[in-house]
Amino acid sequence: MQIMKSKSLFSLAGRGVVALATLATFAVTPLRADETCSSPYLARIEGQEEFVYVWTLGVEGLGDGADKLVTLDVKPGSPTYGKVIHTHPLQGRHEAHHGGFTDDRRQLWLSGLESSQIFIYDVYTNPAKPRHVKTIDNFEKITGGAVGPHGVYALPGRVLIPCLSNAKDQGGHTALVEFSNAGDYIATHWLPTKDTPGLEGAEFADGYGYDARVLPRKNVLLTTSFTGLKNYTRPFGELIQDAEAMKQFGNSMVLWNFHTRQPRKAFHVPGAPLEIRWAWGEKNNYAFTATALTSKLWLCYEDKNGEWQAKEIAHIGGEGGVIPVDMSLSADDKTLFVDCFGDGKVRVFDVSNPHQPKQIYEKQIGKQLNMVSQSWDGKRLYFSSSLLARWDKLGDDNEQFVRAYNWNGKELTPTFELDFTALKLGRPHHMLFGSTKVGNSTVAAK
Amino acid sequence: MNHRIESIRKRRAGAGTSWTGVGSEARCRVASRAEADRPRSAAVASPLCWRRRGIRAALLAFALAVAGSSAIAANPARTPDHDYDAPKPGSYKLPVIKPAADGEVLDAQGRFLRLRELTRGRVTVMSFIYTRCAAAKACPMATGVLMQLHQHSAADPALAKQLRLISMSFDPEGDTPERMAAYSALADGRKPAAEWRFLTTASQARLQPILAAYGQAVNRKDNPNDPTGPLNHTLRVFLVDREGNIRNIYSSGTLDPRLVLADIRTLMMEQNTTAKK
């Protein structure tokens, strides 16, 4: 009988103590696919990515002028490889920025930084043609005043949305917000300030937010800090002339108890630390971040005594700032790609020793550069150009592109590129991988 | 208990079946009748009772092995996958996520029940599983955690009284009531302990609304002979409070029995406080 032949719990039982002793700690080998910076709770793609979803800002007077989700075909051998195969425009412009999948990878949530709307797409029914199914348009009201939803991070049965601002003063004090996968609001957790009782390093806590990512094995959540709505919606050239406004940037990282959602320790990390990249190795208890305004690479790590620390580990670029923005860490934790908006270069660091990174390569990708997404096998990288609608460069420097490259461990070689201005699409921002083949479970606990 | 269930109970009781008995023979008779109620296309041939006794023996070995390997109370130590200390119960909040959905289910004795009846009145830990699953970080892991909670409750009368465990199958074709009855041997020999129910559904038509309501993703693999089982699924374990609200959702990365127990105790303390008020 088939059910008696299957290697089920019953047959495990027959193996007795040995099998069961391994039950709690048996490690599933992660499927070698997907983006390296995605949530560890996310169901993984099997094999190579087939689609790249590009969350794209609309540009007034260009095409329909609307924010849109653009789907690229990146399936090898496909007749439409490297082409746009689907677009879905929304109504108006919302400052399209980041997004993320639910943990079952059936939905893609995309956030609007300016309108504080969340757009939910079904990417399960037909991954080649994402279908808009719901909009959360009362974010400020239901969250108790959080605005500027930024990333969307998969947690079991829910998503975590780190925000950038608040409705009251549109400054940098903000919150982490949770929704169920069905779109039901769950909770708002405000970032700690110097007045937060019992917080180690409270004097460094400024209440600002940006990224939020979890190391499940250690039950820790790490958050970084950027700036509020009244800054990120202001023209960049004007903003940098305003000394008072330039003081309103985050200078902190906060380590949280993930399960209880309670902040544990604040670190002083000056200059707007942005993306967080936890290492994947089962004993690698550390994460990287880069500070946009001071061009530094930082490491947050657990020391020999089990205490969490943060320290500057490298300068990025030469004299002056290069505005490091997005980063991507290879799945083997050895190579870190750092995009620099200021000079349009990607800088690659050998981080085999995370305390002493060494730059091993750099390449000019464009006149401006923001996001990077890397395949799990480290062989393919996709770059996009736009930072924010009012912060992108002007004139001829305002290139808007998605450019794909292969990485052989030593250099990047181009595979295809798409000019989003010529295609009348807009400003490409976050890129996420899609596929018709999704693994059978979430990746093993880190 | 609704009228329909009651009528089924009477009809079956009239046929001489003991519904309160927990012996393997009683389970065998009842489950076979429940299968007779299933659509022909969904039916799976029942194993012979003598063969199930072999399953039972194997399950008892499984239970003993788990008992010896990782009891929560006896060994609260960290593991490589869960390298941290569990929080103190009551020191944090568990916000309401959404109401736990209802649906028509079958218990291991083949009785029709409403899921709503089993997600109210106690703190409930409900795990969606299928018994053919052999992915170590999926259903066997979830059932192992429920077993540890069950063990723990056997030594804690307050916990035994206020906790309910549910193993809910999403594989009605494979997981007949009879198979769930055999699977329920995992809970045998540990009394008094928390109530542990083993549930399935009569058909996909009954199952799908439940899966949709709980957000449990399940689909068939391309290879039905995959050694880890024929179904793709996310791992989902739900914590439900006494009022029937989902308060936490666990997956492989968060299904640490120490965390689940801390959450259960947090809800027990919350409810005790509410009761005192």
Q: What DSSP element (H or E) covers A327?
A: strand A324-329
- pLDDT at residue B272, rounded to an integer: 65
Report in angstroms the alpha-carbon separations of B272 from A222, B92, B275. 34, 16, 5
Q: Of B97, B131, B137, which is closest to A8 when you measure between CB atoms? A: B131
Compute the nearest-CA separation of B188 from chain A (Å).
15
Q: Which of A310, A277, A272, A309 is nearest to A291 (CA)?
A: A272
- pLDDT at residue B137, rounded to an integer: 83
The per-residue pLDDT for range B69-97, each reduced to its tens digit, is 444 544 468 999 899 999 999 999 999 99
Compute the nearest-CA separation of B44 from chain A (Å).
9
Compute the nearest-CA separation of B6 from chain A (Å).
32
Nearest CA in chain B to A27: B137
Q: Of B98, B139, B174, which is closest to A184 when you measure between CB atoms? A: B98
The verdict on a CB contact (< 8 Å) between A40 and B51 is no
Compute the nearest-CA separation of A125 from chain B (Å).
12
- pLDDT at residue B267, rounded to an integer: 98
Q: Which of A319, A408, A309 is nearest to A355 (CA)?
A: A309
Nearest-angstrom CA–CA distance, B197 and B182: 12
The verdict on a CB contact (< 8 Å) between A216 and B227 is no
- pLDDT at residue B275, rounded to an integer: 53
- Determine the longest span between alpha carbons in chain A, in angstroms: 76
Nearest-angstrom CA–CA distance, B76 and B172: 36
Position A166 in a domain:
yes
Q: What's the CA dihedral at B167, B172, B174, B179 to 10 degrees?
A: 50
Side-chain-side CA neighbours of residue A384 (13 Å): 26
Nearest-angstrom CA–CA distance, B184 and B195: 11
ipTM of the complex: 0.89
Contact A85, A71 (CB under 8 A): yes
Contacts of B93 in chain A (CB under 8 A): 187
Please identify every stretch of chain A with a pLDDT value under 70, giving residue numbers as ranges: 1-33, 439-446
Contacts of B92 in chain A (CB under 8 A): 257, 259-262
Q: Of B91, B98, B253, which is closest to A260 when you measure between CB atoms? A: B91
Nearest-angstrom CA–CA distance, A436 and A256: 35
Contacts of B44 in chain A (CB under 8 A): 3
Q: Of A7, A104, A216, which is closest to B254 when you measure between CB atoms? A: A216
Among B132, B228, B260, B261, most A C-beta atoms within 10 A, so best to mutate, is: B132
Q: Of A17, A20, A444, which is closest to B252 when you measure between CB atoms? A: A444
Position A388 in a domain:
yes
- pLDDT at residue A427, rounded to an integer: 98
The verdict on a CB contact (< 8 Å) between B82 and A219 is yes
Q: Of A1, A16, A158, which is closest to B97 when you measure between CB atoms? A: A158
Nearest-angstrom CA–CA distance, A225 and A273: 6
Going through chain B in order, the beta strands assigned E by DSSP cover 98-99, 104-107, 112-114, 123-129, 163-169, 195-200, 218-220, 231-233, 237-240, 245-250
Range of the domain at A350: 30-439
Compute the nearest-CA separation of A181 from chain B (Å).
7
The per-residue pLDDT for range A65-108, each reduced to its tens digit, is 999 999 999 999 999 999 999 999 999 999 999 999 999 999 99
Q: Is the dihedral angle over the CA atoms A351, A357, A362, A368 positive or is it negative? A: positive
Q: Does A4 touch chain B (CB under 8 A)?
A: yes
Side-chain-side CA neighbours of residue B99 (13 Å): 7
Nearest CA in chain B to A11: B58
Instruction: Give me the phi and psi of B210, to 5 degrees please.
Output: -70, -45
Q: Of B70, B138, B254, which is closest to A24 when you measure between CB atoms? A: B70
Compute the nearest-CA separation of A43 from chain B (Å).
7
The verdict on a CB contact (< 8 Å) between B143 and A14 is no
Amino acid identity, position A315: H
Nearest-angstrom CA–CA distance, A203 and A195: 8
Nearest-angstrom CA–CA distance, B112 and B110: 7
User: Residue B213 in 3-state DSSP?
Assistant: helix
| Tokens found for residue A156 | 């079991």
Nearest CA in chain A to B145: A24
The verdict on a CB contact (< 8 Å) between A180 and B234 is no
Compute the nearest-CA separation of B195 from chain A (Å).
21
Nearest CA in chain A to B260: A259
Position A14 in a domain:
no
Compute the nearest-CA separation of A206 from chain B (Å).
23
What is this structure's pTM? 0.86
The per-residue pLDDT for range A16-63, each reduced to its tens digit, is 222 222 222 222 333 446 788 899 999 888 889 999 999 999 999 999
Residue ranges in A229-306 assigned as alpha helix (H): 229-232, 236-239, 243-246
Position A386 in a domain:
yes
- pLDDT at residue B274, rounded to an integer: 58
Total tally of structural domains belonging to chain A: 1
Q: What DSSP element (H or E) covers A286?
A: strand A286-291
Q: Of A1, A27, A442, which is closest to B253 when you measure between CB atoms? A: A442
- % of chain A residues with pLDDT over 90: 87
Q: Which of A347, A385, A388 is nearest to A369 (CA)?
A: A385
Residue located via tokens 């250099």: A411
Q: Which residues does A390 contact at the CB level (< 8 Å), separation at least 6?
A: A232, A233, A234, A235, A236
CATH number of domain containing A383: 2.130.10.10
Contacts of B78 in chain A (CB under 8 A): none
- pLDDT at residue A314, rounded to an integer: 97
Q: Hey, which residues 151-170 in chain A have their CB within 8 Å of chain B?
A: 156-158
Contact B28, B179 (CB under 8 A): no
Q: What DSSP element (H or E) covers B12?
A: helix B3-14
Nearest-angstrom CA–CA distance, B196 and B187: 7
Provide the residue-wise pLDDT of chain B in tens; the chain has 277 residues.
Answer: 334 333 333 333 333 222 222 222 223 223 333 333 333 333 333 333 334 444 454 454 444 444 444 445 444 689 998 999 999 999 999 999 999 999 999 999 999 999 999 999 999 999 999 999 988 888 999 999 999 999 999 999 999 999 999 999 999 999 999 999 999 998 887 778 999 999 999 999 999 999 999 999 898 888 889 888 999 888 999 999 999 999 999 998 899 999 999 999 999 998 666 554 4
Q: Which domains does chain B have, with CATH numbers?
A: 3-74+84-276 (3.40.30.10)
